[in-house]
């Protein structure tokens, strides 16, 4: 196809789409309410189904597996005191100083289909102060519990780096103090977030969402074009309210900027969230809380490549290392809105905006086909197969080939109107 | 020194500092007003001096050098039309299609001491469509000007990546479309920001600052613990107001989080800004605007290593590639508050929290000694020499050795009270 002809057919496609979507009085085809019809159906479905996640108790398998829950700071401080009292009693009995720790190795991580997430087997190991191989670990565990106890007592939050620096001589490497945090979470049955040790955050939110953050009233419709930075201490967020019909989860900040500047959420009531690439823990916790508290569907806008899908999977499934915390960190049932491999032809994305997949891309794509959460969804399998057959990928930005506002004015409204998510 | 003794002397230091700083009625030593006395002096000095930056015109050297200014979108669109009309006239005269472009090579970049920044020599080169070596560049220039004209006409902002994707076939590599943006800025005498092509942003702000962002009223005292994301389109920010006495510019998000959670700005009226590491263009523009509009001092809190200083230098000096835009991107006269190499002994930072400098660190430190902006400040030279002699460095987090809130409750108040910045 010549560049000229491609240009003409592309324009025709845009015009056709625009005609379908032009504004009109309420009820006329193309109005906001028309576009949102499919979204409304999905929202009702999500609300009806509820988002109460099944727990190990619901399945009566709490004995066999292990998960953690969010717990109050005061409760955790008391739990730490109990652990230390038990240790003291053991020492006085003459049984020595030891902890009983949950096993967290790869063979202890199991995907439970009924939960649709990975949990830990309920297996434990012992770490004794009197054994050469575990004396250092027990010492570090004890010191970190002491530090966490102090943090909780003062009601503040700290980073892993802060923790490391309070006793560099003992910890030596930050990896050593980081590692025991997960042990402590598992042992106390609480999320890492409950320990008030937080990771740095990079997520941003904008749109139809109001909440309280550490007492401040935050209105995300009035956050200009830059949006509100998502805090790393998620437990300071309370009282979420919305009139949004859906969450638009965006992979990249360029697309986020376009949506924020065009105030996409004014016309199509939604909450727009991005972690600017690989999702960090704070953004994952935030999304999970939004979905749990507000019970609205989550639609993902990612690049049409294996990494876009990988990002959805991190939000949905979490990482295996944090299997014990998967109920809090993950958001089930995210719909893949786009940009999907099949969109490239559907929206006539010009050849030169499509990129060849590298050998590594193809390998990652093939690996995705074996993931449990992909196998469950035949439509996802179909899309990945298209990607692998055509060996092409594309970024969200490829839509700019039709104009910078094609994303907000044409692509997304059309997708929403057609209920075109899988 | 034994761990026990070190602990004791450290506690003594903390107690001594705390005693000096404990709260009291107004006027009693240690009260907020006492702590802020030195800051008030500095603030008055900054306000009196004014922050009107010297321009090339002030020095009557506008003929010899070149700088760019912020200009309105409409003005730039008109300027692009003028450039194209001139080209058309040249073609009609039979002189062919060519642009006159400012030279931007390394030899064209000069540090002007009276300005304290780098500017471009007023030299030009010609790029003709009729010459094989420049036909591609002229084509790309023309296409990008057309795209920018479209962006300006619609009053929107786009990213470089968006721009690239509108004509992948022509640009082939994003480097090629990025490069001509700077040519266009120079040619039109405007900042890149005026072209409405923006970079992604990662900065966050919190504290005693109010402003309007795209019409929304933003109050940075009510941004919870996560803060407000700094937008990439700085020209949407207007009407800045403050009762802050200073800006606290923070290198890392861990320290930012501590300051935000402790609401440091409530007790010590300030604006807290971080770019979370290497400063991005949006954060640099934001800081520069804060300083220009509000005329308050900027105090930097960075790691005690060569990269901490490098970060201050990027805020103050900008990068050489963007020499033509240095007046808008840079913030003169940033004070180095800490953590300085001399602080390590002054605050008795434990040995195990100090890190050995690598060969590369030492090389970077030695390189800093040759930088113009360092040489001007003998106290900075002294600090760098301490760093190079002791061959040790430390992070802001090293202060956590005395407790997680040592930074906000002791270190910073003491620094401010003593006016200990250079």
Q: Which of residues 294-313 of B touch A (CB under 8 A)?
A: none
Would an 8 Å CB–CB cutoff place B27 in contact with chain A?
Answer: no
Contact A156, A196 (CB under 8 A): yes
Distance from CA of A60 to the nearest CA of B (A): 39
Which position among A65, A165, A315, A402 bears the catalytic label? A165
Nearest CB to A253: which of B200, B236, B353?
Answer: B200
B99 close to A (CB below 8 A)? no
B11 interfacial to chain A (CB closer than 8 Å): no
- Of B336, B163, B366, the closest CA to residue B249 belongs to B336
**3-state DSSP call for residue B298?**
strand
Q: How far is CA A67 from CA A126, A192, A288, in A?
A: 19, 12, 16
Best interface-test mutation with A: which of B149, B165, B177 has the largest number of A CBs within 10 A?
B165
Over residues A133-191, the pLDDT tens digits come to: 899 999 999 999 999 999 999 888 888 888 888 888 888 888 888 889 988 988 898 88
Distance of CA B8 to the CA centre of its chain: 40
pLDDT band at A1 (very low <50, low <70, confident <90, very high): very low
Q: From the candidates A6, A147, A153, A162, which should be mutated to test the interface with B, based on the most B CB atoms within 10 A? A: A162
Q: According to CATH, what is the number of the domain B3-54+199-417? A: 3.40.1360.10
CA B352 to chain centre: 32
How many angstroms separate the Cα of A383 from the Cα of each of A305, A316, A332, A386, B268?
10, 18, 20, 5, 55
Burial label for A89, CB within 10 Å (0-12, 13-18, 19+), is exposed
Q: Which of A168, A258, A276 sits opposite B353 (nearest CB)?
A: A168
Contact A353 B168 (CB under 8 A): yes
Q: Is the peptide bond before B2 cis (omega within 30 degrees of 0)?
A: no
Q: How many other C-beta atoms are found inside a 10 Å radius of the C-beta of residue B35?
A: 22
Interface test with A, best of B164, B219, B226, B408 (most A CBs within 10 A): B226
The DSSP output letter for B296 is: -
Nearest-Cα distance to chain A for B173, in Å, is 11
Size of interface A-B (CB pairs under 8 A): 184
The reply to whether residue A231 touches residue B226, judged by beta carbons under 8 angstroms, is: yes
Classify residue B205 by burial, with Cβ atoms within 10 Å: 0-12, 13-18, 19+: buried
> Is the Cβ pair A157, B257 closer than 8 Å?
yes
How far is Cα B73 from Cα B67, in angstroms, rounded to an integer? 18
The response to whether A303 counts as a known ligand-binding position is yes
The alpha carbon of residue B378 and the mean position of all alpha carbons in its chain are separated, in whole angstroms, by 22
Q: Give the list of residues 6+ apart from residue A76 with CB closer than 8 angstroms, or none.
A: A148, A152, A188, A190, A194, A195
Bin A147: left if φ > 0, else alpha if -120 < ψ < 50, else beta: alpha
**Nearest Cβ partner of A228 from B229, B233, B257?**
B229
Tens digit of pLDDT at every position of chain B (422 positions): 444 444 444 444 455 555 555 444 333 446 888 888 888 888 888 888 765 667 777 777 777 777 788 888 899 999 999 999 999 999 999 999 999 988 887 788 777 777 767 778 888 888 999 999 899 999 999 999 999 999 999 888 888 888 888 888 888 888 888 889 988 988 898 888 889 988 777 899 999 999 999 999 999 999 999 999 999 888 899 999 999 999 999 998 889 999 999 999 999 999 999 999 889 889 999 999 999 999 999 999 999 999 999 999 889 887 766 777 777 788 888 999 989 999 999 999 888 888 899 999 999 999 999 888 788 899 999 999 999 999 999 999 899 888 889 999 999 999 999 899 99
DSSP E strand boundaries for A153-192: 158-159
With contact defined as beta carbons under 8 Å apart, do B298 and B334 qualify?
A: yes
CA B57 to each of CA B53, B66, B293, B307: distance values in angstroms, whole numbers, following the listed order: 11, 10, 21, 34
Phi–psi pair at B270, nearest 5 degrees: -150, 170
Nearest neighbour of B229 by CB, restricted to A159, A166, A226: A226
- The class of domain A3-54+201-417 in CATH terms is alpha beta
Cβ–Cβ gap B261/A168 under 8 Å:
no
Is A211 part of the annotated catalytic residue set? no
Strand partners of residue A109: A120
B222 contacts A236? CB cut-off 8 A: no
For A319-365, the DSSP string reads -GGGGGGHHHH----EEEEE--HHHHHHTT--GGG-EEPPHHHHHHH
Which tokens is B234 given? Answer: 């700085």
Residue A322 has pLDDT above 80, yes or no: no
Q: How many CA atoms lie within 13 A of A323 on its CB side?
A: 23
More confident residue, B52 or A10: B52
B202 touches chain A (CB under 8 A): yes
Number of residues assigned to chain B: 422
B1 shares contact with chain A (CB less than 8 Å): no
Residue closest to A237 by CA, chosen among A294, A279, A278: A294
Classify domain B67-198 at the CATH class level. Answer: mainly alpha
Ligand-binding annotation for A176, yes or no, is: no
User: Residue A373 and residue A116: Cα distance in Å, rounded?
Assistant: 8
Q: Are A312 and A336 in contact (CB under 8 A)?
A: yes
**Chain A CB contacts of B3 below 8 Å:** 169
Q: Is A342 on the interface with B (CB under 8 A)?
A: no
ipTM for this prediction: 0.81
CA distance B121 to B108: 5
Report residue A407: phi and psi, to 5°.
-55, -50
On average, the pLDDT of chain A sits at 86
Backbone angles phi, psi at A238, to 5 degrees: -140, 165
Residue of B nearest to A402 (CA): B166
Question: Of the candidates B158, B399, B401, which has its C-beta nearest A404's C-beta?
Answer: B158
Put simply, whether B52 touches A (Cβ < 8 Å) is no
Q: Is B198 in contact with A257 (Cβ distance < 8 A)?
A: yes
CB B184 within 8 A of CB B221: no
**What integer pLDDT is reported at residue A15 of this predicted model?**
52
> Which pLDDT band holds residue A300 (cuts at 50, 70, 90)?
very high
Q: Which residue has the higher pLDDT, B126 or A27?
A: B126
A9-19 residues labelled b (16+ CB within 10 A) or e (exposed): ebeeebeebee
Selected for mutation to probe chain B from A155, A165, A253 (highest B CB count within 10 Å) is: A165
What's the rounded Cα separation, in Å, for the pair A45 and A275? 27
Query: How far is it between the farthest Cα atoms of chain B?
Result: 88
Helix (H), strand (E) at residue A121:
strand A117-121
Q: Is B222 on the interface with A (CB under 8 A)?
A: yes
- For A258, counting Cβ atoms within 10 Å of its Cβ (0-12 exposed, 13-18 middle, 19+ buried), the class is buried
Chain A touched by B176 (CB under 8 Å) = no
Catalytic residue among B99, B165, B307, B406: B165
Nearest Cα to Cα of residue B318 among B273, B268, B281, B369: B281
Residues of chain A found within 8 Å of residue B222, distances taken between Cβ atoms: 216-218
Q: B12-21: list long-range contacts, CB under 8 Å, 24+ apart.
A: B13/B347, B13/B348, B13/B402, B14/B402, B14/B403, B14/B406, B14/B410, B17/B410, B17/B414, B18/B409, B18/B410, B20/B414, B20/B417, B21/B409, B21/B410, B21/B413, B21/B414, B21/B417
Å between A350 CA and nearest CA of chain B: 9
Q: Answer for the pair A194, A70: CB distance below 8 angstroms, yes or no.
A: yes
Q: Does A124 reach chain B within 8 Å, measured CB to CB?
A: no
A:135-154 residues touching chain B, CB 8 A cutoff: 150-151, 154
Chain A positions touching B409 (Cβ under 8 A) are none
> Domain residues of chain A, as ranges?
3-54+201-417, 67-198
Smallest Cα distance from A281 to chain B, Å: 14
CB contact at 8 A, B39 and B419: yes
Partner-chain residue, chosen from A218, A224, A350, that has the shortest CB–CB distance to B231: A224
Helix (H, G, I), strand (E, B) or coil at B89: helix
pLDDT in tens, A308-319: 999 998 898 877
Interchain CB distance below 8 Å, B404 and A151:
yes
With a pLDDT cut of 70, the percent of chain A lying above it is 91
Decide: B124 and B105 in contact? Cβ < 8 Å. no
Residue A211, H or E segment = strand A209-213
Say if CB B30 and CB B422 are below 8 A apart: no
CB atoms within 10 A of CB B173: 10
Q: Which residue has the tokens 């479209």?
A: B150
């Amino acid at each position: 196809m010549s560049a000229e002809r491609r240009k003409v057919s592309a324009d025709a496609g845009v015009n056709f789409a625009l005609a379908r979507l032009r504004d009109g009085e309420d009820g006329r085809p193309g109005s906001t309410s028309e576009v949102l019809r499919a979204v409304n159906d999905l929202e009702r479905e999500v609300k009806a189904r509820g988002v109460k996640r099944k727990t190990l108790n619901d399945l009566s398998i709490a004995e066999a597996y292990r998960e953690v829950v969010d717990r109050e700071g005061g409760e955790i401080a008391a739990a730490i005191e109990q652990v230390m009292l038990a240790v003291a009693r053991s020492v006085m009995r003459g049984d020595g100083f030891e902890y009983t720790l949950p096993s967290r190795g790869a063979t202890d991580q199991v995907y439970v289909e009924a939960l649709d997430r990975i949990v830990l087997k309920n297996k434990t190991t012992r770490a004794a102060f009197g054994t050469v191989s575990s004396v250092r670990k027990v010492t570090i565990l004890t010191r970190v519990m002491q530090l966490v106890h102090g943090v909780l007592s003062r009601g503040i939050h700290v980073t892993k780096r802060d923790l490391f620096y309070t006793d560099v001589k003992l910890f030596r490497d930050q990896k050593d103090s980081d590692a025991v945090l997960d042990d402590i979470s598992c042992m106390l049955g609480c999320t890492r977030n409950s320990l008030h040790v937080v990771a740095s955050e990079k997520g941003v939110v904008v749109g139809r969402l109001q909440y309280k953050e550490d007492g401040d009233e935050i209105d995300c419709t009035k956050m200009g074009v830059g949006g509100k930075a998502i805090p790393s201490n998620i437990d300071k967020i309370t009282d979420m309210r919305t009139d949004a019909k859906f969450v638009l989860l965006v992979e990249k900040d360029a697309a986020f900027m376009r949506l924020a500047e065009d105030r996409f959420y004014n016309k199509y009531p939604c909450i727009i969230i991005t972690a600017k690439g690989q999702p960090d823990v704070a953004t994952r916790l935030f999304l999970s809380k939004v979905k749990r508290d507000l019970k609205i569907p989550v639609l993902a806008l990612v690049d049409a490549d294996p990494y876009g899908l990988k990002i959805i999977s991190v939000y949905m499934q979490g990482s295996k290392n944090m299997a014990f915390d998967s109920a809090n960190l993950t958001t089930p049932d995210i719909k893949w809105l786009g940009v999907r491999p099949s969109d490239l032809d559907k929206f006539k994305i010009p050849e030169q905006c499509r990129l060849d997949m590298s050998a590594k891309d193809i390998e990652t794509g093939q690996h995705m086909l074996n993931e449990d959460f992909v196998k469950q969804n035949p439509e996802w399998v179909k899309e990945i197969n298209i990607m692998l057959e055509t060996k092409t990928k594309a970024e969200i930005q490829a839509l700019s080939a039709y104009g910078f506002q094609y994303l907000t004015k044409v692509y997304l409204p059309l997708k929403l109107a057609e209920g075109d998510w899988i």
